[in-house]
């Protein structure tokens, strides 16, 4: 148990270094991580010995080492998010009768990393590996609605950032903010014919232990009520429940 506080402080330093655009000096690291300078110095030296941190002597700064990169590469290889989401997504599709998918934010796009097709339904544009503008998709809006407003503003600095697909959807930051505010009030995001003609989607964000959105989980269904196996309201409830399950499995709230 005596090693737990040291491990926590070490991870705090690594997380801080990973968030910086360039290597940082020791004093800045100690202040940002709320550590005594001597403690930060000893922790960083231990991480240097293990390859997680490198010391740039000429600049008197510290940055992430190769071992930290290897950890990140291992995360990508193991695809833990997809593994965690596979069964809940399949259950979501069984429950609603609609195709489901999981997407992550990549710049101003969403990248679809997992898809579960519903039996008897046509294939969707949201296949694994496909990228679509985040502000037009339910999955993207679900992620954006959980981001700080400053980060959304940085992603969409001007009208040129808003790609048009079918002639609808927000075309400015103010319009996007309205869409995201409505999504927060509902507890889920919607998209109605803005990605594929005749189709609509509902989505909810998957949150990590810091409350940061790491993905959006969604189902897509026909706009025509006569072709719907589950009401949009019931589908939205199922999506929110699935997103909550995935968030808990990732250590989120």
Nearest to 113, CA basis, from 147, 148, 78: 78
Per-residue pLDDT, 228: 85
Per-residue pLDDT, 75: 63
Per-residue pLDDT, 76: 59
Contact 121, 196 (CB under 8 A): no
Burial class (CB in 10 A: 0-12, 13-18, 19+), 55: middle
Q: Does the structure show a pLDDT above 50 at 208?
A: yes
Least reliable range by pLDDT among 4-13, 19-28, 66-75, 212-221: 66-75
| Percentage of the chain exceeding pLDDT 70 | 92
Q: C-alpha distances in angstroms, 117 versus 101, 179, 247?
A: 8, 27, 22
Evaluate if pTM is beyond 0.75: no
Confidence of residue 234 (pLDDT cuts 50, 70, 90): very high
Question: Which residue intervals of the chain are DSSP H helices?
Answer: 4-19, 26-32, 37-49, 66-78, 80-96, 138-145, 149-155, 173-186, 232-249
Average the pLDDT over 65-74 and give the result: 77
Q: Give the position of tokens 């679900």.
A: 142
Radius of gyration, alpha carbons of the chain? 21
Q: What's the rounded Cα separation, in Å, for the pair 113 and 103?
A: 6
| Percentage of the chain exceeding pLDDT 90 | 54
Per-residue pLDDT, 229: 86
Q: Does the structure show a pLDDT above 80 at 157?
A: yes
Question: How many CB atoms are located within 10 Å of the residue 136 CB?
Answer: 22
Contact 51, 69 (CB under 8 A): no
Q: Does the structure show a pLDDT above 50 at 1?
A: no
Per-residue pLDDT, 188: 97
Nearest to 82, CA basis, from 109, 106, 108, 104: 104
Query: Which is it for the CA torsion 122, 126, 127, 132, positive or negative?
Result: positive
Average the pLDDT over 207-227 and give the result: 89
Confidence of residue 95 (pLDDT cuts 50, 70, 90): very high
Average the pLDDT over 108-127 and give the result: 82
Per-residue pLDDT, 77: 62
Q: What's the rounded Cα separation, in Å, for the pair 2 and 185?
A: 44
């Amino acid at each position: 148990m005596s090693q737990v506080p040291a491990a926590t402080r070490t991870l705090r330093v690594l997380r801080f270094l990973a968030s910086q655009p360039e290597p940082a000096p020791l004093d800045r690291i100690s202040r940002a991580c709320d550590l005594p300078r001597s403690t930060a110095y000893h922790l960083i030296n231990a991480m240097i010995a293990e390859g997680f941190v490198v010391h740039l002597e000429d600049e008197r700064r510290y940055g992430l080492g190769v071992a930290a990169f290897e950890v990140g590469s291992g995360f990508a290889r193991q695809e833990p998010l997809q593994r965690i989401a596979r069964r809940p997504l399949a259950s979501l599709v069984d429950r609603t009768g609609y195709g489901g998918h999981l997407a992550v934010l990549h710049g101003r796009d969403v990248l679809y990393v997992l898809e579960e097709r519903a039996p008897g339904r046509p294939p969707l544009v949201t296949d694994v590996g496909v990228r679509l503008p985040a502000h037009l998709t339910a999955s993207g809006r679900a992620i954006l609605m959980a981001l700080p407003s400053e980060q959304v503003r940085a992603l969409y600095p001007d009208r040129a950032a808003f790609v048009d697909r079918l002639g609808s959807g927000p075309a400015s930051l103010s319009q996007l903010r309205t869409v995201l505010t409505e999504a927060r009030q509902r507890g889920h995001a919607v998209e109605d014919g803005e990605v594929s003609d005749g189709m609509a989607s509902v989505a909810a964000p998957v949150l990590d232990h810091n409350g940061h959105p790491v993905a959006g989980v969604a189902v897509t269904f026909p706009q025509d009520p006569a072709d719907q196996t589950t009401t949009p309201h019931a589908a939205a409830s199922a999506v929110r429940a699935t997103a909550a399950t995935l968030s808990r499995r990732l250590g989120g709230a």
